[in-house]
Structure 1
Amino acid sequence: MRYFLRKIGFLLLTVWVAVTLNFVLPRLMPGNPAQAMMAKFAQQGPVSPSQEKALELMLGLPTGSLWSQYWSYLGNIVHFNFGTSYSYFPESVSNVILTALPWTLILVGIVTILQFVVGTLCGVYAAWNRGKKFDSTASVMLSFTAAFPYFWLALALIYFLAYLAKWFPISGGYSGSLHPAFQWSFIASAVYHSILPAITIFATGIGGSLLGMRNNMINTLGEDYILLAKAEGLKNRVVALRYAARNALLPIVTNFAMSLGLVVGGSLLMETVFAYPGMGYLLSTAVSNQDYPLLQALFLCITVSVLVANFIADLISGLLDPRLRRGATTS
């Protein structure tokens, strides 16, 4: 119990630090969003101070002392009020994020979990049959694909399969003639548009999962308790999965949890290449338009999701390896 309480306390502390830094850093930047927008308007003519003041009021820029702004900021976070998006004015930042988040969670989340499961199981099989045909072939091929920059693979898929062969759409998350709705026509269109992005994520990520699990398990197979399990006549499947794979899995649980945490941020370059309407594409749009409220909310969502994912990985590690809990109790 002490182990889990320490992890919960550390999570709360790091979330508070992340929230505070997310408040402080934008205020250390010179100028403000209204001045950035006025600089664009000034190309068409001079802008008066009254016009700039009206724009500041319209955008809802914070006023008052820094301390009062901080408490107001904390209250807004509790109520998921991140202000108004400049890129999608007059939409609120919360609505903009909630529109893009499902696209990223469904595509990037499902593919990330799938490539981890498939890659891990293949890594177990390759390690158990190390030196044989599957091990040699899979290790070489997936090492090659893992070295691919995924934006390069995305461009290659677009050129050959979408532009030349015309088998898939070049960009977008669904057909322009449809509107998002829980209907078969829209779902089919969304799945069709997600095939190439899914292939990109899966092909470039499965190699890391397979090679990581394979290398960890090969080291585990040399332990004394594995030799003892074999000597007792246990089935190979039991020895491989219950003893070797379970202990080899511990070091990569944290990496997988971090990957899941980063899912909220989307796949920036992939979504930009495919113009896929997820969080990564939203982040790119916010940067290009200097949309500070949207940027601030996106960074906060990504940071908190990574911290929560790391917290869950610590809990899973503690459940899988009782030595971690005993170490926390004795310290």
Structure 2
Amino acid sequence: MVAPARAEAAVTSPRGGGPTGPTGTGRRKPRISFRHRASAWDRRYSPYLYISPFFLLFAVVGLFPLIYTAWVAVHDWDLIMGQGEFIGMENFAHILGERAFWVSLRNTLSIFILSSAPQVVVAILIAYLLDYNLRAKTFWRMGVLVPYVVTPVAVALIFSNLFGDRYGLVNSTLQAIGIDAIGWHSDVLPSHLAIATMVNFRWTGYNALIFLAAMQAVPRDLYEAAAIDGAGKVRQFISVTIPNLRPTIIFVIITSTIGGLQIFDEPRMFDQYGRGGADGQWQTMTLYLYELGWTRSDFGLASAVAVLLFLLIVAIGLVNFVITRRISSSEAKR
């Protein structure tokens, strides 16, 4: 009876934990409950689940239309007859050979430059004024947002009448002070200035609120230290405010670039015909795309213009990214 007892003791754990395993340690792998497993899965996979609706929505309304537009651009696609034969890059070659495309590209870049640069500068100045302890500051801050709330069609109709060639308020005022009337609807640069004014009217207040939020995040200790060192308001604005606004400025420039290159409502409603002028004085790429698709009923050519516009936006975005990276690296070295 002694031998079986010794044998039993030999196969049991020295700590009384049961039979020993192959290694002889006597430890078993602890059993994880389903609750702990679910908690681990939640911590690991729930963030992806929370952000998945955005990516699903983007895939449906953003990525798929982009891919499908590229597919249409390489086919002979009629509005009525539908998809035709595969023609490769012929639509792109045809578009690049048309004078109207290059005119629309010139107009798009011109209106973009005339609207984006003044828009950012004026928005920063307005935000700087709103950052002070003004009376009824909520009223003023909401007031700058009113033009953004107004529909683009209403803004375009109002400004098209203001910049009327004969009976517009702007020309009437110029003639009253002895300046000749300007052909806002007949000349190239004046029409671009008028359309850029519409864009600035709508978006300057919106960007000013973005800059205001960034200014309020700047530590007030920096201004107090600058004031102790003898810096005035202008010097504080240049040396303290602007450097802290650099990421926000880059963000606004990129968003205004994307929106400015896709401008459609303002030039479309600038006159009663909506074709960009008699000789395409202010016909943008989006208007040219619209004309190809719905006037000429050629979706292949229109899709080719859309792809070229997308590539233009990506190219300018990459330029902004490179400039941003250089600025960030130079600031890090300092």
Scaled by the length of structure 1, the TM-score of the pair is: 0.60
Judged with a 3 Å threshold, the aligned counterparts in structure 2 of structure 1 residues 242 and 94 are, in CA distance, closer, same or farther, namely farther
Matched, 1:304 2:308: no
Matched, 1:284 2:286: no
**1:233-312 map, 5 Å:** 233-265=230-262, 267-274=263-270, 275=274, 276=276, 277-288=283-294, 289-312=296-319
* Offset from partner CA, 1:256-286 (integer Å, 9 cap, x none): 1232244333x11212112222222112213
Instruction: In structure 2, give the amino acid aligned to 1:144.
Output: V
**1:212-251 map, 5 Å:** 212-222=210-220, 224-251=221-248
Judged with a 3 Å threshold, the aligned counterparts in structure 2 of structure 1 residues 152 and 138 are, in CA distance, closer, same or farther, namely same
| Structure 1 residue corresponding to 2:150, chosen from 148, 151, 159 | 148
Q: Share of identical aligned residues, percent? A: 12
Pick 1 or 2: higher relative contact order, CA cutoff 8 A, min separation 6: 1
Judged with a 3 Å threshold, the aligned counterparts in structure 2 of structure 1 residues 325 and 295 are, in CA distance, closer, same or farther, namely farther
Judged with a 3 Å threshold, the aligned counterparts in structure 2 of structure 1 residues 193 and 211 are, in CA distance, closer, same or farther, namely same
Name the counterpart of 2:130: 126
- 2:92 and 2:193 mapped to 1: Cα distance? 33
* Offset from partner CA, 1:141-198 (integer Å, 9 cap, x none): 31111222222211233457649944579xxxxxxxxxxxxxx999983344445423
Instruction: In structure 2, give the amino acid aligned to 1:110.
Output: L
Judged with a 3 Å threshold, the aligned counterparts in structure 2 of structure 1 residues 131 and 98 are, in CA distance, closer, same or farther, namely same
- 2:318 and 2:138 mapped to 1: Cα distance? 36
Contact 1:112/1:260 (8 A) holds in 2: yes
**1:1-331 map, 5 Å:** 25-26=68-69, 33=76, 36=79, 62=86, 69=88, 73=89, 82-84=92-94, 94-127=98-131, 130-132=132-134, 138-158=140-160, 162=164, 165-167=167-169, 189-222=187-220, 224-265=221-262, 267-274=263-270, 275=274, 276=276, 277-288=283-294, 289-322=296-329
2:94 counterpart SS class = coil
- 1:245 and 1:106 mapped to 2: Cα distance? 27
Instruction: In structure 1, give the amino acid aligned to 2:264.
Output: L
Instruction: In structure 1, give the amino acid aligned to 2:286.
Output: G
- 1:301 and 1:207 mapped to 2: Cα distance? 31
CA RMSD of aligned residues (A): 4.1
Name the counterpart of 2:6: none
Instruction: In structure 1, give the amino acid aligned to 2:128.
Output: V
- 1:24 and 1:216 mapped to 2: Cα distance? 36
User: Structure 1 stretch 255-264 or stretch 112-121: which is displaced more?
Assistant: 255-264
* Larger relative helix fraction: 1
Name the counterpart of 2:14: none
- 2:313 and 2:152 mapped to 1: Cα distance? 21
- 1:240 and 1:120 mapped to 2: Cα distance? 10
- 2:188 and 2:214 mapped to 1: Cα distance? 38
2:244 counterpart SS class = helix
Judged with a 3 Å threshold, the aligned counterparts in structure 2 of structure 1 residues 308 and 138 are, in CA distance, closer, same or farther, namely farther
Rg larger in structure: 2
- 2:158 and 2:205 mapped to 1: Cα distance? 19
Unaligned runs of 5+ in 1: 1-19, 40-51, 64-68, 86-91, 170-183, 327-331
Judged with a 3 Å threshold, the aligned counterparts in structure 2 of structure 1 residues 82 and 203 are, in CA distance, closer, same or farther, namely same
